[in-house]
Amino acid sequence: MDGVHVALASGESLVVLGPNGAGKTTLLRMLATLLRPDEGSLALLGHDCPEHADRARGAIGYLGHDPLVYLDLTAWQNLELFADLYGLDDPRTRIVDGLDAVGLLPRAYDPARTFSRGMVQRLGLARMLLHDPDLLLLDEPYAGLDARGRALLDEVLAAERAGRATVMVTHDVERGVAAADRALVLRAGRPVLSEPVTDVDPAAFRARYEDLVR
């Protein structure tokens, strides 16, 4: 990564676009405190990172390519684990609400291994939102989801986005731009575009994007 400058306020959303190998996931993993930048500065939710990454982590929600849940545990056991790791009060209510929001409450006591790919991704979504994070980091969250799963994910994210900063990495340019306030396009680790997209037609933006990354 080189020359990337991102500033995001609470309630704002950023979509990060680019071809494979552009550095999108690397950027997101830095924001998730999973990678240390060699140079430059990173402040998350008012905490300088990586020095104070441990203070920022409690307010970050991350959903990557993988849903980050144990397939051999039940949906309830997975959320119970993360409720304890995040030190949540009243975990029972939060787990019930979380599973209900993603439509998995009837399957709460089934091992995640018995779920379809879309259901596991929804469980990952419930895990991400369980601790009411201030910063949502989404890496290809639509990957592997069918149309119904995508619609549900859109619905949940739209409901949960208010008051949180959101960064989404996706190859789905139109869907990403439609959901974001700003777009950052990367190519070979460098930004080639960074601008607001609130009033931009997603289809028209896609044509521009194709030119930028060609």
Instruction: Report the interface residues with other proteins, using CB under 8 A.
Output: 32-34, 36, 50, 53-55, 57-58, 60, 62, 64, 66, 68-73, 77, 80-82, 84-87, 111, 127
Q: Name the nearest CA neighbour of 95 among 57, 136, 135, 126.
A: 126
When the beta carbons of 45 and 192 are compared against other proteins, the nearer one is 45
When the beta carbons of 48 and 210 are compared against other proteins, the nearer one is 48
189: which residues sit within 8 A by CB, 6+ positions away? 1, 2, 4, 22, 23, 26
When the beta carbons of 40 and 58 are compared against other proteins, the nearer one is 58
Three-state DSSP class for residue 204: helix
Whole-number minimum distance, CB 91 to other proteins, in Å? 10
Whole-number minimum distance, CB 32 to other proteins, in Å? 5
* Rounded Cα–Cα distance for residues 145 and 151 (Å): 9
Whole-number minimum distance, CB 199 to other proteins, in Å? 34
Whole-number minimum distance, CB 127 to other proteins, in Å? 7
Q: Are 38 and 46 in contact (CB under 8 A)?
A: no
Whole-number minimum distance, CB 133 to other proteins, in Å? 10
When the beta carbons of 76 and 205 are compared against other proteins, the nearer one is 76
When the beta carbons of 73 and 96 are compared against other proteins, the nearer one is 73
* Rounded Cα–Cα distance for residues 204 and 214 (Å): 16
Q: What are the tokens at 188?
A: 């070979």
Residue 11 CA, chain-centre distance (Å), reads 14
